[in-house]
Structure 1
């Protein structure tokens, strides 16, 4: 058994994709959530207080233009030249809303083309976050396997890849895009987990590749979108904060035309205004996540040296191949019973022997390791 009955009831499996982060509400002995890839530091206190204070203004509509939060986020993304790129940035109710907007816009662009059915492909890795494929399937794209050599009308890659932990640095990423997208196509690169890379994350990210995005649009009519869910790095998944960087301001305007008004609520906007100023939080994230991840890996391999650990050292989780489905299922159940749920690789990903474990502080890791001593 990989899902409890109560967790299954949260999802309409006919229409929704399974996701972690739901079990805590059903556990009377809940200690820590290892099933989600949020920052081990929990929510930044100053930004949380700003969101709390914004509750007092809920009798007013939030800003329809998302300001000043959008400008604050633009300054965070591009500290020296944000004014040049501000018009290409759009915020949304989590990345999920923006994913659907871009997929629908791509579908509309493909109408009238010679292709009978537009094609979609994900990353070159065997599995990635499923919301992109779910949206593409819902909107009628033909889904090609990751191994397909064909160029596609829509290309979506999660980089770093959640859950596998694979990562393209920026130059190989650009080469992979060029080799896999058809002329006139749409690309989404999800960099939600990329800010964990280091304090120099911008220089290994597509957010800084303005010339590349311009070249692909002007020469190939390929529109590249860089997607972020900000709720992981700042541990605020309940607020739903996402953004997309479009290739041009005109692309951004096209998305706004089909976006519902006020999709980002007042507390979320105030949270963003405050959180982008919290440099100490990010410095602590970069300083300690790699150390804590290495500690987690060491503890896991001390239980079973035959387990295979996947993922880059800077990431906020580990992707563990426990070698058999029986062992992975038992690990999921034991973690749940101990109040420290982990993410099974079976629902959604169909990786039967895998478990995803978030990076957390040493005392909480001790609880998980203790729960798994019988494996």
Structure 2
């Protein structure tokens, strides 16, 4: 499938000529809002302990936040590398959401060609940044190696997922020597309590060898606003191949990029083990229950994605049906994401995993499709 090189026009708050469409904007305009099924945030909502820490931090908002992002940065490093955080934290930097860091890394990347992951679509901020920074865009079907290659793994929205051996093989086959590989693992922590064993975050020897022998720089990107359901706070991080790469990002990053409230939230939330246990235990169960209900109603639809993911990517096989499903969900106060704006895949919808009571409302709205 050839890559789309221009933003798709969209309604709502997005300027289609200047911005890349993203979901999560409709809820505030709905007088009957129940739940937002259009975003891939954690179904358990914002962790209460971290929310309290963030709220309390407002008392200190007349002061500048720490320029070194501490102690939140070290707390996140301890979360990522429980046994080796003191040796690894110098490769870590926080940002105002992953979007800021995506743009900073691509800005300092070697110029030339940019290519996405092997899937037919993925999160579009990488493409937007590459286009804005003058890269020639390759499609996922291209056999040409890129100066910069960006892979979202697990892939949002398609639900595709590469295990570490497959991921390393993809980097070897698709990144030119001296190039950048940016691997977005924002949804990786949903994998299980053993997510670190399946992540590039723990592959320091591999990353160092690749940089030493081929000059390929591997960056591991995270948006933490999905796992901990705090998209309004804007929290992201990137693990760099070396401390020197981290300092290169810091040199061009706007000072105080992450505000006091977000830093306080992050510093507290990494210790909420109960929240993560609930996430790992119940997300797959709620996801399967939702798939089973919708599949029973619409046996012709195709359901995509790994069992641990916080969303379901659905091909209705009919653009009119997908549009009607989006309209019905919105009217019931439970908006879902259309695959049309942004992804240019009008037969698809994306439905977040949510608690069964909220799914009841969505199912009730979509029943009207069976009657039409």
1:315 to partner: Cα distance: 0.2
TM-score, with structure 1 as normaliser = 0.95
Query: Is 2:51 aligned against 1:48?
Result: yes
SS of the residue 1:18 aligns to: coil
Residue number in structure 1 paired with 2:346 = 352
1:173-207 CA deviation, whole Å, 9 max, x = no partner? 01111111000001100000000000000000000
State the Cα deviation string for residues 40-86 of structure 1 (Å, max 9, x = none): 00000000000000011110000000000000000000000001111
How do residues 275-314 of structure 1 correspond to structure 2 at under 5 angstroms?
275-314=269-308
Q: Corresponding residue for 1:3?
A: none
Query: C-alpha separation between the residues in 1 aligned to 2:69 and 2:17?
Result: 34
How far off its partner does 1:8 sit?
Answer: 2.1
How far has the Cα of 1:9 moved from its partner?
A: 3.4
Matches within 5 A, 1:292-371: 292-371=286-365
Q: Residue 155 of structure 1: SS of its match in structure 2? A: strand
- Give the TM-score taking structure 2 as reference length: 0.96
Distance 1:14 1:83 in 2: 45
Residue 134 of structure 2: aligned partner: 140
Task: Tell me the C-alpha RMSD between the 2 structures.
Answer: 0.7
Q: How many residues align?
A: 360
Hey, what's the Cα distance between the residues in 2 that align with 1:231 and 1:133? 20
Cα deviation code 1:211-236 (max 9, x no counterpart): 11101100011100000000000000
Match of 1:64 in 2: 67
Residue 234 of structure 2 corresponds to: 240
Q: Could you say what secondary structure the match of 1:232 adopts? A: helix
Structure 2 stretches of 5 or more lacking a match? 1-9
Q: For the residues of structure 1 that align with 2:175 and 2:246, how far apart are their CA atoms?
A: 20
Write the distance in 2 (CA, Å) between the matches of 1:188 and 1:15: 24
Q: Distance in 2 between matches of 1:303 and 1:329?
A: 17
Alignment correspondent of 1:17: 20
Structure 1, unaligned runs of 5 or more:
1-6, 111-117
CA distance in 1, matches of 2:76, 2:350: 30
| Equivalences for residues 36-185 of structure 1 within 5 A | 36-106=39-109, 109-110=110-111, 118-185=112-179
Task: Quote the Cα distance in structure 1 between the aligned partners of 2:161 and 2:145.
Answer: 21
Mapped to 1, the partners of 2:170 and 2:304 lie a distance apart of 21
Q: Can you list the C-alpha shifts for 1:266-290, whole angstroms capped at 9, x where unaligned?
A: 0100001100000000000000000
Task: Provide the rounded CA distance (Å) in 2 between the counterparts of 1:170 and 1:283.
Answer: 23
Question: 1:267 matched to which residue of 2?
Answer: 261
